[in-house]
Amino acid sequence: MNIRAIRGATCLQRDDATEMAEAVTELLLELMSRNAVDTDDLISVLFTSTPDLHSAFPAAAARGVGLADVPLICAQEIDVAGAMEKVVRVMVQVQTSKPRSEIKHVYLRGAEALRQDIAQ
């Protein structure tokens, strides 16, 4: 069994707690589905959000999809001039037998533009 990191991101239309919960839930469920990962495979989850998002913690949405016993943390993304706004990024550490080349990174709701090299 290997430890792998899976990246992902999603964009919000506005700084709204309900939209944050919906977008983060969608992102996590899609990331887990595409990589055949269940909650027992998760080691930890790191969320970042751009400085213009402050209505809710992304980790709160993760708890809503059953990650109550998985270590979660949120941080603020660096405020770079001209960077894409209203973005939540995630890096999930998992135990998996998959080789790195089979990991599917998930970018949704316009976030695909962030990492066209790995977005699937």
Q: What tokens appear for 54 in the block?
A: 């402050």
- What distances in angstroms separate CA 56 from CA 53, 96, 110, one per listed residue? 8, 30, 20
Sorted by where each starts, the structural domains of the chain and their CATH numbers stand as: 2-108 (3.30.1330.40)
CA R_g for the chain: 14
Q: What is the pLDDT of residue 49?
A: 97
Predicted pLDDT at 107: 95
List, for residues 4-13, the tens digit of each pLDDT value.
Answer: 999 999 999 9
- pLDDT band (50, 70, 90) for residue 23: very high
Q: List residues with catalytic annotation.
A: 7, 63, 74, 77, 89, 107, 115
Query: What are the structure tokens assigned to 31, written together?
Result: 């990331």
> In angstroms, rounded to a whole number, what is the distance separating the alpha carbons of residues 103 and 117?
13
Tens digits of per-residue pLDDT, 30-46? Answer: 999 999 999 999 999 99
Nearest CA-CA partner of 54 in 27, 7, 88: 88
Residue 87: which of 5, 34, 12 has the closest Cα? Answer: 12
Q: What confidence tens digit (pLDDT) does each residue in 45-99 have?
A: 999 999 999 999 999 999 998 999 999 999 999 999 999 999 999 999 999 999 9
